[in-house]
Amino acid sequence: MNKISVNIQSEIGELEGVIIHTPGPEVENMTPENAERALYSDILNLSVARKEHAQLSGVLSKVTQTFEVGDLLEQVLSNPSAKEELIRRICLTENALWLMDDLLAVSPKELGKFLIEGVPLVRNNLTNFLSHERFSLKPLYNLYFTRDASFAISRSVVIAKMASTVRHRESIIMEAIFSMSDIFDTSTVNPSAFTLASNATIEGGDVLVVRDDVLLIGNGARTNTHGIDFILNRLQLNSDARKKYILVQELPYKPESFIHLDMVFTLLDADKCMVYDPIIIQPNRYQTVQITIANGRVEEIKTVDNLLVALKKLGMDLKPVYCGGTTDRWVQEREQWHSGANFVAIGPGKVIGYARNVHTIEEMNKNGFEVIRAKDVIAGRVDLGSYSSYVVTIDGSELPRGGGGARCMTMPVRRKKVNW
């Protein structure tokens, strides 16, 4: 099997490979008591969540090559040396070295499940007997949001340094998949390996590759300035004479629906973007900063009016499509809360999002996007090749309650080049 050469030069290029994770028992291992610690505001109905996710994966499988995290992890664990290295790192990180021998004795398939779904706590001593915990290694409740733990910029994969310890194992697993499997041809960059990045946090939901010379990065609860400086430093090291740009958008820390930039801004086409108007366009206290890099150094840092103004000056004149429509601020707030601004492109002008955000979908239809149900695509009743611009809608009563949408649930590894 030929390796997949990782290459992401834009947010909208035709999708040629993507990593997803179907929600599993790890979601049902959440309780009202531990939901907040797991970064949820509510618990999910797994059977419904899986049906909804099947619509996303079903559409993706029609248009691109899809990879499941569980399958990729099992492939890594089938290599004895990789298995030992990965288990040792996880156990060290989570203060569970006493589990190593037991985990190494488990088959790759079962071990992969343990690492995702959690390792039950054996109550074989007084400490464990009196513990209120149920797991020695906690379930990865958030793993179906595959965008966050790693993200590709050009031919490299950046391993996220997650803001919450409950998600650190996700990054460790994704680094193993990209560096130890035989599937992907890429190099990994991990902020955790750099002393200068010790205070950094950065997650994939905050990083948008707009063009090969332009990055958008959100600065908020999940990605701090140190994390952005780490990316800036890497760009400087790899910079040629051509100028490169980072546009930084400050985000509110509250409410939790603003955790990442892609919850208020996503790319839809070469000339259209989805915006949550109160943060992206309307005057507010959240700054937009432009950093210009040339010849391996920072040439300029300045504040700009907003992302759209800055992008227009860089040659990208984007028409905004408004999350929640244009007439009612309350509707905008409600639909943004349920990931109404969070779309993933499977090609220029071809995107996937939640059907529940009806005012957002209506606004997209007004802007030339044909509205197509995922169920019709999967059943073969609709040929996506017949449409030049569309939004495929997936059901979303449970999945959005985890705090993310279609972009959050997809980690693209390869896209075709866009002819700007």
The CATH number of whichever domain residue 192 belongs to comes to: 3.75.10.10
pLDDT averaged over every residue in the chain: 93
pLDDT value for 373: 98
Percent of the chain having pLDDT more than 90? 81
pLDDT value for 31: 59
Strand partners, 17: 414
**What Å distances lie between residue 301 and 137, 179, 304, CA to CA?**
43, 34, 10
Residue 179 falls within a domain, yes or no?
A: yes
Residue 163 falls within a domain, yes or no?
A: yes
Residue 171 falls within a domain, yes or no?
A: yes
Q: Whole-angstrom Cα distance, residue 127 to residue 140?
A: 24
- Residue at 211: amino acid letter: R
Residue 50 falls within a domain, yes or no?
A: yes
Q: For the chain, how many structural domains are there in total?
A: 1
CB atoms within 10 A of CB 41: 12
Are residues 405 and 339 in contact, defined by beta-carbon separation less than 8 angstroms? Answer: yes
Sequence-distant (≥ 6) Cβ neighbours of residue 197 within 8 angstroms: 161, 191, 226, 227, 230
Q: What is the mean pLDDT of residues 378-384?
A: 96
pLDDT value for 33: 57
In tens, the pLDDT along 293-343 reads: 998 899 999 999 999 999 999 999 999 999 999 989 999 999 999 999 999
pLDDT value for 121: 85
Q: Whole-angstrom Cα distance, residue 40 to residue 142?
A: 9
Position 254 confidence tier, pLDDT thresholds 50, 70, 90: confident
pLDDT value for 362: 98
Three-state SS for the chain is CCCEECEECCCCCCEEEEEECCCCHHHHCCCCCCCCCCCCCCCCCHHHHHHHHHHHHHHHHHHCCEEEHHHHHHHHHCCHHHHHHHHHHHHHHCCCHHHHHHHHCCCHHHHHHHHHHCEECCCCCHHHHHCCCCEEECCCCCCCCCCCCEEEEECEEEECECCCHHHHHHHHHHHHHHHHCCCEECEEECHHHCHHHCCCCECHHHEEEEECCEEEEEECCCCCHHHHHHHHHHHHHCCCCCCEEEEEEECCCCCHHHCCHHHCEEEEECCEEEECHHHHCCCCCCCEEEEEEECCEEEEEEEECCHHHHHHHCCCCCEEEECCCCCCHHHHHHHHHCCCCCCEEEECCEEEEECCCHHHHHHHHHCCCEEEEHHHHHCCCCCHHHCCCEEEEECCCCHHHHCCCCCCCCEEEEECCCCC
pLDDT at 84 exceeding the cut of 80: yes
Q: Whole-angstrom Cα distance, residue 64 to residue 160?
A: 24
In tens, the pLDDT along 260-293 reads: 999 999 999 999 999 999 999 998 999 999 999 9
Residue 10: name the closest of 245, 191, 175, 215 by CA: 215
Q: Are strands 319-322 and 370-373 parallel, antiparallel or unpaired?
A: unpaired
Residue 18: name the closest of 346, 330, 404 by CA: 346
pLDDT value for 417: 96
For the purposes of burial, counting CB atoms within 10 Å of the CB of 315, is it exposed (0-12), middle (13-18) or buried (19 or more)? exposed
Q: What is the mean pLDDT of residues 349-358?
A: 98
Are residues 215 and 290 in contact, defined by beta-carbon separation less than 8 angstroms? Answer: no
Q: Whole-angstrom Cα distance, residue 207 to residue 211?
A: 12
Full domain range(s) for residue 83: 4-204+327-415
Residue 284 falls within a domain, yes or no?
A: no
Q: What is the mean pLDDT of residues 71-86?
A: 97
Q: 56 or 234: whose pLDDT is higher?
A: 56
Q: What is the mean pLDDT of residues 43-69?
A: 95
Among 39-43, 167-171, 310-314, 398-402, the range scoring the smallest mean pLDDT is 39-43
Residue 297 falls within a domain, yes or no?
A: no
Residue 314 falls within a domain, yes or no?
A: no
pLDDT value for 32: 55
pLDDT value for 193: 84
Residue 244 C-beta-side C-alpha neighbours within 13 Å: 25
pLDDT value for 44: 82
Q: Whole-angstrom Cα distance, residue 164 to residue 150?
A: 15
Position 178 confidence tier, pLDDT thresholds 50, 70, 90: very high
Q: Whole-angstrom Cα distance, residue 87 to residue 103?
A: 7
pLDDT at 34 exceeding the cut of 60: no
Residue 254 falls within a domain, yes or no?
A: no
pLDDT at 40 exceeding the cut of 70: no
